[in-house]
Amino acid sequence: MERTFVMVKPDGVQRGLIAEIIGRLEKKGYKLIGLKMLTLTPETAALHYAEHAGKPFYPGLISFITSGPVVAMVWEGKNAVKGVRTLMGITNPTEAIPGSIRGDYGIDMGRNVVHGSDSPVSAQREIAIYFKEEELV
Ligand code: ATP
Ligand code: MG
């Protein structure tokens, strides 16, 4: 079984989409094995988005992702990384297919409701930022 890291971003929490996002992943058949609510520090945000440091949108990304509470989760299932990315839809909500989470709820590139790991290696790295192994069931 594969694990992936998923986060309901501050806009998703603020708009009351936590249950909707969890429900979609549950109904698809993935298993929730870790969950916590927290507000990211700038340090944690920088670790999470290290690959984007130096890009033009980076300062806005860090200020957005630290702007309010998020829901950090670990989900498990067959090909969970790719499957969750498919359920989420592509980064730009304007182009994300209706029926996907971002296609249905996203507003713009900066406010796209949800994060999911983009590879099994990223998943392992991101899970370790937010969870200790003993916090996963
Ligand atoms: P995430 O990592 O948040 O799940 P993603 O993997 O679909 O999203 P990335 O390329 O990793 O996309 O970008 C991380 C985040 O940075 C995006 O979710 C988006 O909010 C923001 N971002 C990416 N590219 C741009 C851009 N060109 N302009 C503005 N914001 C961007
Ligand atoms: Mg990404």
Predicted structure pTM score = 0.97
Model pLDDT for residues 65-79, shown as the tens digit of each residue: 999 999 999 999 999
Ranges of beta strands (E only) in the chain are 2-8, 31-38, 70-77, 114-116
The interface pTM score, or ipTM, of the predicted complex is 0.94
Model pLDDT for residues 93-133, shown as the tens digit of each residue: 999 999 999 999 999 999 999 999 999 999 999 999 999 99
> Helix axis angle, 80-88 relative to 18-28, nearest 10°?
130
The arrangement of strands across the sheet holding 114-116 comes to 31-38, 70-77, 2-8, 114-116
Q: What is the pLDDT of residue 5?
A: 98
Is the Cβ atom of 115 under 6 angstroms away from ligand 1? yes
Is the Cβ atom of 2 under 6 angstroms away from ligand 1? no
Alpha-carbon gap, residue 133 to 137, rounded angstroms: 9
Q: Give the ligand with the smallest distance to the CA of 55.
A: 1
Is the Cβ atom of 110 under 6 angstroms away from ligand 1? yes
Closest CA to 32 of 71, 65, 69, 68: 71
Q: What is the pLDDT of residue 106?
A: 95
Query: Is 48 tagged catalytic?
Result: no
Alpha-carbon gap, residue 3 to 101, rounded angstroms: 19
- Residue pair 6/127 in contact (Cβ under 8 Å)? The answer is no
